[in-house]
């Protein structure tokens, strides 16, 4: 069952006695737990019928006793067990889950891992309750997810601003949601998120970021690329080398993928680059300036400098010096080979 399906049922006041929320992606687990904590019960009912436990400090007997009691002046009670992955003797919940009360809604968050499906606990939860497994989305799904989330908040965002936001935040849905919330609060009556908004309210330079560095490299604009690296040097938190290298690696890897496609037109490339016209144009620029063999050399360079960035075969692994050296070799190196 999906997040939407669970919340839709809850909004219709349809509940199962036990919900087990597990998996690697905290965002969806927190979204469901947040609804359970604030929306299932009215404020008046929650005062007497909402109980919250945290796995690290929770005593299993106290959790079970709370689940077995009847609600006070209400149809149901809600019991939340957060961070259950830190709870000792979690299997002791079996005794309750096998015979749950219909007047109790037990919601358990089990972050960062999943239950072994062969265990008795897992089988009981599946029989008497609902298991929700929260999976991390792939990087190639992030632009689409972000655009959808922006629209769900009643806003629009252009392709270039979307790329800037995704490159800056990365695959952290909770942080992404928080940044979008920050933007929505500050925009007032405006309904479109622009690059200027991202620069002003999130602190990402629209001229000096990983996306612009990638663009400069695609055009072999060494002067612009070095200016961006200089900015990174003066603002270490803006784009550490550990953020830049994977981004460049992924882009050149996609370029190799494009080279092997039977058709290399705008329509074909949109499927590879998340339907983002700016990324498609970058790819076309790259293909004009980098042959397949040169792109392969760049991939090897990025691998080498990734090792250097962690101190392997390199005494001085400062991000700035490595980045300048790497960018020069990517842009000038491929030119010199021609």
Q: Domain limits of the chain?
A: 3-134, 139-202, 210-337
Phi first, then psi: what are they for 59, rounded to 5°? -100, 125
Q: Quick one: pLDDT at residue 294?
A: 92
Cβ–Cβ contacts within 10 Å for residue 278, how many?
17
Statement: residue 233 has pLDDT above 60: yes
Residue 125 to residue 20: CA distance in whole angstroms: 7
> Cβ distance 211 to 199 under 8 Å?
no
Q: Is the per-residue pLDDT at 336 higher than 80? A: no
> Which residues lie below 8 Å from residue 151, measured CB to CB, with a gap of 6+?
none
5-14, 157-166, 247-256, 257-266 — most confident range: 5-14
Domain 210-337 has CATH 1.10.580.10: no
CATH code of the domain occupying 139-202: 1.10.8.60
**Rounded to 5 degrees, what angle do the CA atoms 209, 215, 217 make?**
105
Convert the pLDDT of each residue in 142-193 to its tens digit. Answer: 989 999 999 999 999 998 899 889 988 888 999 999 999 999 999 988 999 9
What span, in angstroms and rounded, lies between the C-alpha atoms of 168 and 29?
A: 23
Q: pTM of the predicted model, to two decimals?
A: 0.76
- Confidence at 334, pLDDT banded by 50, 70, 90: low
Which pLDDT score is estimated for 338? 44
User: DSSP readout, 241-262?
Assistant: HHHHHHHHHHHHHHHHHHHTSS
Calculate mean pLDDT across residues 130-151: 92
Q: What are phi and psi of 303, to 5 degrees?
A: -65, -45
24-39, pLDDT tens digit by residue?
999 999 999 999 999 9
Judged against a pLDDT cut of 90, whether residue 238 lies above it is answered with: no
The predicted pLDDT at position 2 comes to 87
Cα–Cα distances (Å) from 174 to 159, 166, 178, 211, 253, in that order, read 21, 13, 6, 22, 27
The arithmetic mean of pLDDT across residues 327-332, rounded, is: 92
Contacts of 89 (CB under 8 A, 6+ apart): 60
Distance CA 111, CA 103 (A): 26
The sheet that has 130-134: what strands, in order across it?
A: 50-54, 77-82, 104-111, 18-23, 130-134
Neighbours of 33 (CB within 10 A): 21
The pLDDT value recorded for residue 73 is: 92
Alpha carbon 147 to its chain centroid, in Å, reads 13
Architecture of domain 3-134: 3-Layer(aba) Sandwich (3.40)
Q: Please list the residues that pair with 132 across neighbouring strands.
A: 21
pLDDT of 318 over the 80 cut:
no
- The better pLDDT of the pair 330, 236 is held by 330
Higher pLDDT, 39 or 317: 39
For residue 330, give the DSSP letter.
I
């Amino acid at each position: 069952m999906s997040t939407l399906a669970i919340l839709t049922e809850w909004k219709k006041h349809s509940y199962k006695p036990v919900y087990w929320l597990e998996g690697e992606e905290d965002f969806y687990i927190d979204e469901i737990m947040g609804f359970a904590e604030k929306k299932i019960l009215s404020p008046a009912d929650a005062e007497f019928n909402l109980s919250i436990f945290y796995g690290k400090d929770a005593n299993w007997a106290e959790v079970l006793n709370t689940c077995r009691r009847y609600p006070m002046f209400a149809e149901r009670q809600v019991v939340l067990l957060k961070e259950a992955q830190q709870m000792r003797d979690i299997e002791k919940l079996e005794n309750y889950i096998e015979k749950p009360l219909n007047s109790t809604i037990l919601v358990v968050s089990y972050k960062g891992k999943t239950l072994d499906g062969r265990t008795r606990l897992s089988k009981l939860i599946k029989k008497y309750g609902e298991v929700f497994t929260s999976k991390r989305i792939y990087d190639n799904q992030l632009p689409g997810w972000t655009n959808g989330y922006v629209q769900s908040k009643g806003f629009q965002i252009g392709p270039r601003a979307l790329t800037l936001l995704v490159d800056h935040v990365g695959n952290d849905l909770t942080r992404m949601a928080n940044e979008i919330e920050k933007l929505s609060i500050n925009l007032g009556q405006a309904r479109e998120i622009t690059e200027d908004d991202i620069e002003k309210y999130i602190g990402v330079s629209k001229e000096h970021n990983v996306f612009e560095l990638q663009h400069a490299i695609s055009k072999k604009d060494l002067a612009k690329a070095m200016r961006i690296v200089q900015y990174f040097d003066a603002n270490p938190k803006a784009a550490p080398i550990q953020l830049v290298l994977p981004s460049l690696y992924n882009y050149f890897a996609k370029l190799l993928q494009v080279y092997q496609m039977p058709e290399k037109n705008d329509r074909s490339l949109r499927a590879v680059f998340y339907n983002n016209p700016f990324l498609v144009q970058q790819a076309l620029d790259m293909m004009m300036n980098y042959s397949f063999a040169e792109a392969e050399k760049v991939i090897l360079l990025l691998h080498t400098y990734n090792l250097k960035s962690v101190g392997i075969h390199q005494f001085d692994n400062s991000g700035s010096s490595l980045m300048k050296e790497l960018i020069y070799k990517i842009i000038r190196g491929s030119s010199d080979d021609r």
